[in-house]
Amino acid sequence: MAARPKSNGHVLPNGNAKLNQVVEKIEEDIYQEENIFLFLPNIIGYARVVLAIASLYYMPLHPRTCSGLYSVSCLLDAADGIAARRYNQSTTFGAVLDMVTDRCTTSCLLVFLASAFPRWSIIFQGLISLDLASHYIHMYATLTMGSSGQSHKKVDSSRSWILHLYYTNRTVLFLFCLLNETFFIALYLLSFSSPLLSPSLLAINDPSGFQSTQPGSPAHPKPSTLFANPWSAGALEMARANKMDSTVPWIIAGVSAPVMAGKQVINVIQLIKASKWLGEGDVAARKKAFIAAGKKRA
């Protein structure tokens, strides 16, 4: 029995061009039917967005619920990457959705912390600016200076061994992102539970009616000014939130603080390296334009 001719690039040795066209048409139809917006990693990304929005809704008065929803949203950040690799569903849209979700959720939490601790708001504002600027310039530099289709997570070790380790080692990336968010969640819980950071927690029942203007919990006004009935669900939730124990949040903040600080150092390095990379491109482009202009004059 004669062996069946093997295909090489869909072109059969016997020159059967018609069969080749049929194969290509079938493959084209298969890929046209794909809807990347319904890939499993992207669906996980949508779930992250929904959970993040829900956490923002509960953020002012429900610290436990908010922290739970926010934490699950952050943990799903690792799940979408695992799903993308497992099912071969890595897409540019998914990568951008993942980064935008990370930046937006962290920024929203930092905005809340800035309102909870007004004295330190400039620090939180600086962290938001650094995070956004660092990742935007890094991604823009990758798109304009890198090879076609290059991921922002593909950093050559010769350009920065720190960024190379950070982006290529999944364990390092996961731990830094996780503990960075954990630190801010711990600060959020401390705004409801620590009189040391929130002095107004000690003055909620001030008989004089004077409410402390010091940086305190997000709920500066007395419960009676927010809720007509002091026994309403909202007033009781505020009282319950402000009676949280601060021991566990302090421990979490202490453990995660060094990693959070390291994450900010990485953001600074990323910002500097990406800026230099763009600068190299500008110098090369100007040099090329100068040489072209000289040839034109000649």
Report the candidate in 280, 260, 261 with the shortest Cα–Cα distance to residue 158: 280
* Spatial distance between the Cα atoms of 3 and 84, rounded to a whole number of angstroms: 38
Residue 129 — left, alpha, or beta (φ > 0 → left; ψ -120 to 50 → alpha)? Answer: alpha
Instruction: Compute the C-alpha angle 126/132/136, nearest 5°.
Output: 145
Query: Is 77 a known active-site residue?
Result: no
Residue 23, number of CB atoms within 10 A of its CB: 13
CB 113 within 8 A of CB 188: yes
Catalytic residue, chosen from 77, 80, 102, 131, is 102
**String of b and e for 146-182 (b: at least 16 CB within 10 Å)?**
beeeeebbebeeeebeebbebbeeeeebeebbbbbbb
Tell me which residues are annotated as active site. Answer: 102
